[in-house]
Chain A
Amino acid sequence: MSTDRLGRFANWNVAIIAVTVVVLIVAAATVDNFGTAQNFGFLILDLLPIALVALPMTLVIVTGEIDLSVASTLGLSSAVMGYLWNQNQPIETIIPLCLLLGAVLGAINGFFVTVLGLPSLAVTIGTLALYRGLAFVVLGDGAVADFPALYTDWVTGNIGGTSIPNVLIIIVVLAAVFGVVLHATPVGRAVFAIGTSEQAARFAGVRPGRVKFWLYVVSGLVSGLAGVLWTLRYSSARADNGAGLELAVVAAVLLGGVSIFGGKGALPGVIAGVVLLASLQNALRLSDVSNEALNVVTGVLLIVSVLAPNLANAVRSSLQRRRHRPEPL
């Protein structure tokens, strides 16, 4: 049974990667200007925040929890960055402080979830409102601009004379780190164990609370980083930066085959999910498909990504039942 489940899971992973590749090829062949180097740069910049935040989100969801506060953490980090910049602080101090802030915000989530034992859904809906509200308190409705060109140009620029965006380095490095941690270290095994059965994980010597706490810290840290990069990309710090991004991130992670119930998922699938969503949006926009349709596509993909494996599973088991004797309960 367990190997079967594993196999099914690998299937979904392969399937989503295959779908992504197909979409990329079809888009490049049929949509004018999709396959250009410049558009590749735009695509990477557009998916940057979702890709970054999706990495820790994957781990959090695999443990069976959720973090809906990520976009608000991003916004608060951006707002604080703008506030400190207006206070004439050096950018070299502001950036680490914003990362630290993100980690602290994550730790607050972690505290409520692991120490007080509150449901993460409710906690992070609360901090979603709280952090976004604080972002508005810090910066109001204003926008702070004029960030140093050295930094903003790096974020929007390319590596050397190539057309590979600089920020792709960040995505690749972080994705590699998270991939190795999740799939090749004891920490990753603990994450899966917790998601499968917290009780069993505890018997196996894992301390679920501690692992989850640090996952929330990392989630906050990465969201803080995403806030910094967002601010630099648009050279504009605003309290409403990234509003609603949490939905896109969760959609991408689930599309990538991570189970919302925890215990199952793989990082390559998640990356494919992120790329799939972003390139579909990019291609549709280039084909002058309206924004409304993008919303519908995102929503339908999200539901289908969870529905399809369930249906496939139901069909398969009914076929099996026809072939074999009915399984005892």
Chain B
Amino acid sequence: MSETLLSVRDLEVEFDTYGGTVKAVRGVSFDVAKGETLAIVGESGCGKSVTVQTLMGLIPMPPGRITNGTATLKDKSILNLPAAEANKFRGVEIGMIFQDPMSSLNPTMTIGDQIAETLRVHRGKSHQEAFGMAIELLEKTHIPEAAKRARQYPFEFSGGMLQRAMIAQSLACNPSILIADEPTTALDVTIQAQILELMLELQRTEDMSIILITHDLAVVARMADRVAVMYAGQVVESGSVDDIFYQSAHPYTLGLKAAMPSNTHDRDKSLTPILGSPPDLFQPPAGCGYCARCPHAMKICAEHLPEITEVGDEHHARCWLQHESAPTIEMLHQAGG
């Protein structure tokens, strides 16, 4: 693996609410290498967005709280920084784009001014110089008539164009990492293809790493070098994109794959849904978070949190079935249990 840029270890984040304390992130570790794309996959409520928002310092504290863990970017810690320190790397070292560009941009400022603001604040450029650079950034994201569009407001942009503008803004300070939180979920498949293509192009030209948060396995297949699958606040499986798709080790990863039709899935074969719903993170289970929905659950799964087991080269799964003394799935089902 090439040089590690970002390293997250044992991150735990919880929130105080009226209903109690939600343990949203329960010990997440991952690395991001220079120039690679890491996809973090999981369904709503699995903690994928909270994880990256914590890294960006975007979680309000309180009610949020980091109870454990470290995150280092280029060997510098980025958690629990004072505001002034945080502002020096947020948007500079790490850029971020969001699912809904319409609500992430200021509706009362022109697109060009919003991008220029980033450059004025972080780079100390004059307004005029910053606005000129904003136009260049819009051109870089292939927005036609960039000079004219820079003077327009967000409501005058379509969803796809807004996402391009957001990407332009996130690139303003040449970040080494771009975090994209469900960047194409709100877009049509044709516009999604354009935005994904643009992200891959910019990754090459700007030499960036990308952390892509998504629930869509097809987008993962298109974009990722490595994948971390999250469930109930934990990474349950991580590895290269090929390991995750072709050598899936965790029953949840297998379940996700079986639940969606491939393009050649036969009409006569019904899909295999994952029954039940994710655990209540107010009272996280003592054992494996997936235990209640897992078709292969054993007694130990409900009682003890599985260890992280190496199942291949840089391929890990948090599952008792991967433990050296575990039975195979076939043995388990023959024994009736």
- Interaction A to B: no
